Amino acid sequence: MATQPSKSPKILNFSPVRPALRTALPGPNARRILADDARLISPSYTRPYPLVAQRGRGIFLEDVDGNLFFDFAAGIAVCSTGHCHPEVVAAMQAQAAELIHISGTDFYYPQLTELAARLSQIAPMPGPHRVHYCNSGSEAIEAAIKLARYHTKRPSILAFYGGFHGRTMGALSLTCSKAQQRRRFAPLMPGVVHAPFPNLYHRPAGTEPEQYAHDTARFIEDQIFRTELPPEECAAIVVEAFQGEGGYLPAPSAFLQELRHICDRHGILLIVDEVQSGMGRTGKWWAIEHSGVAPDMIAIAKGVASGLPLGVLLTRAYIMDWVPGSHASTFGGNPVAIAAAMATIAILEREGLTNAHEVGEHILARTYDWPQRLPLVGDVRGRGLMIGIEFVADKHTKTPATEQRDHIVEAAFEKGVLFLGCGASSLRLCPPLIVTKAQADVALDILEECIQLVASGKHKRPNWKDKAAS
């Protein structure tokens, strides 16, 4: 039976000051869809709770039963301007009425160069630049791998433990976040070596943060280049300036600066994955800017087009020296997606970057004492609106509290706030960049309540599978 839309689309009429739930979760319409999903959709998807979304505005999501949620996941940091920002919607509608597709790999159209020029203006490395368009972060990383090998004529790539770069075979070969993401897909792409990524919260006792970060980068030359990977065979080092799926870990400046020195000494390209951390999420256009390091390439996706599929590989111009036929993408640089990206950049430049910095500082100020004051909270870290909260079962041993983290995320959903986990036991705060301090306070109040409930043992974990089947 077809799902009936909610009778009162409240989200279109006003902005509630709190989440507003009108049914038990999941509601009756949601349960029908969940049953169909279980029968028809790939079981490889990970869904932490049974949200069945119908419409969104700003930071608000309405499900198919009329329940209103605060969205502090933003489609995994994709909806940078919030859901259905009117300027983004207008840009998409206007472009869709003129030209939807022709394929930039075979033909020319002005949107390709317009967005490329705009990205060049905000690039974190000196120009001139060149751009390759694709559809996702994984595809941007695939393009980076191929171009690095093509340009340097070297076979190997160095990436980092905890890194997530996508799930296509080349990107997956760099990904080293969770074993399940790689299980039963071997053999992966050859020529990939992984190195440690600095985690300041888990650094050895007695070590200073900056020295530890520097020494972690030095491991590459001191050990890997001596024993495993000859530096003259390394085409590129691929790193997230702010690890996402690995636990929302900012890369220390000393670490990134030493990576740049290593690359310069050995003629290696430095590729920075800004898929999740870019487009203003950390309060600057790119997370790498916090370190003062200029990369050779950056991979862009997620927040660049406010929800439309668009990936970009942005490089120093001289590096993109491959000839026609070397690489392409049928849908990459789609005119409608580019229209959304141009509107997104305008909104972020006008208000999003400043707001991300200011509201992010507000959240960090509110949560700075959580590790001392709240049970289970081991660490709070981040920049802008990319903030991670790590939960531990023991604050001395820092043992991950994975089940408790999952339970907290589920409890928050039951109270109307959407969060997502990452890493072994971290929770990420990545709301749209237009979120207000007042909205952040509501979400933090609910999150704090959920942490206390789970730590006290007074909240029972829901069994949504049984509800969905009923």
| Residue 4 confidence (pLDDT) | 45
User: Residue 13: pLDDT above 80?
Assistant: no
What six digits make up the tokens of 38?
């279980």
User: Residue 68: pLDDT above 90?
Assistant: yes
Provide the whole-model pTM: 0.95
User: Residue 365: pLDDT above 50?
Assistant: yes
User: Residue 12: pLDDT above 80?
Assistant: no
| Residue 15 confidence (pLDDT) | 64
Confidence of residue 398 (pLDDT cuts 50, 70, 90): very high
For 71-97, write each residue's pLDDT tens digit: 999 999 999 999 999 999 999 999 999
Confidence of residue 7 (pLDDT cuts 50, 70, 90): very low
Half-sphere exposure at residue 220, Cβ-oriented, CA atoms within 13 angstroms: 32
| Residue 458 confidence (pLDDT) | 84
Share of the chain above pLDDT 90, in %: 93
CA dist., res. 401 & res. 415, Å (int): 21
Who's near 76: CB < 8 A, 6+ residues apart? 276, 302, 420, 430
Q: Angle 319-322-326 (CA atoms, 0-180°, nearest 5)?
A: 140
Q: Packing angle between helix 402-414 and helix 437-456, nearest 10 degrees?
A: 120
| Residue 464 confidence (pLDDT) | 78
CATH no. for 88-348: 3.40.640.10
Q: Where are the domains of the chain?
A: 88-348, 408-428+450-470
| Residue 9 confidence (pLDDT) | 42
Confidence of residue 382 (pLDDT cuts 50, 70, 90): very high
| Distances 108 to 104, 111, 337 between C-alpha atoms, Å | 6, 9, 16
Mean of per-residue pLDDT scores for the chain: 95
Confidence of residue 463 (pLDDT cuts 50, 70, 90): confident
| Distances 82 to 72, 297, 306, 435 between C-alpha atoms, Å | 10, 27, 7, 8
Confidence of residue 469 (pLDDT cuts 50, 70, 90): low
User: Residue 117: pLDDT above 60?
Assistant: yes
Confidence of residue 468 (pLDDT cuts 50, 70, 90): low
Confidence of residue 2 (pLDDT cuts 50, 70, 90): very low
For 296-315, write each residue's pLDDT tens digit: 999 999 999 999 999 999 99
For 313-348, write each residue's pLDDT tens digit: 999 999 999 999 999 999 999 999 999 999 999 999
Confidence of residue 6 (pLDDT cuts 50, 70, 90): very low
For 420-455, write each residue's pLDDT tens digit: 999 999 999 999 999 999 999 999 999 999 999 999
CA dist., res. 144 & res. 322, Å (int): 12
